């Protein structure tokens, strides 16, 4: 059983298009995240949602908009795609930090979506 799943796995599109990446987790977690991994493998947090509310929004262009229809899903919409958006996007989930008796933040990652903008 897949814990954190993402679709699609690969996404190739033209500049200027609008696209979405879906993420679902079946772990019962109530916090979900989106990360971007650039061509040098550097991973950076983009967004964090807790119980469907945005709690972290790093410096990300407003062309990127996360949407959480429920606690198990966090989708990423990207408008007016640019060449620089090409990257691997990872979704992750965790229990609400602090609820496990210790303020740590073990996150479970999806397999990633490789986005290529032409």
CB of 99 to other proteins, least distance (A): 8
Please report, as ranges, the residues that interact with other proteins according to CB under 8 A. 4, 33, 40-45, 48, 55-56, 58, 90, 92, 96-98, 102-112
Size of the chain in residues: 118
Residues with Cβ within 8 Å of 67's Cβ and at least 6 positions away in sequence, in order, are 74, 75, 76, 77
Nearer to other proteins, 15 or 55 (CB): 55
The DSSP code for 62 is T
Nearer to other proteins, 58 or 82 (CB): 58
Decide: residue 23, CB within 10 A, 0-12 exposed, 13-18 middle, 19+ buried: buried
CB of 76 to other proteins, least distance (A): 16
CB of 37 to other proteins, least distance (A): 9
């Amino acid at each position: 059983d897949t814990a954190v799943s993402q679709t699609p796995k690969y996404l190739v599109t033209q500049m200027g298009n609008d696209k979405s990446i879906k993420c679902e987790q079946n772990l019962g977690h109530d916090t979900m995240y989106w990360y971007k991994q650039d061509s040098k493998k550097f991973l950076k947090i983009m967004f964090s949602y807790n119980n469907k509310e945005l709690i972290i929004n790093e410096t990300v262009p407003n062309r990127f908009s996360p949407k959480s229809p429920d606690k198990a899903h966090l989708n990423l919409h990207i408008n007016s795609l640019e060449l620089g958006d090409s990257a691997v996007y990872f979704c992750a989930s965790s229990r609400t930090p602090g609820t496990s008796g210790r303020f740590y933040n073990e996150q479970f990652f999806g397999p990633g979506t490789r986005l290529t903008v032409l």
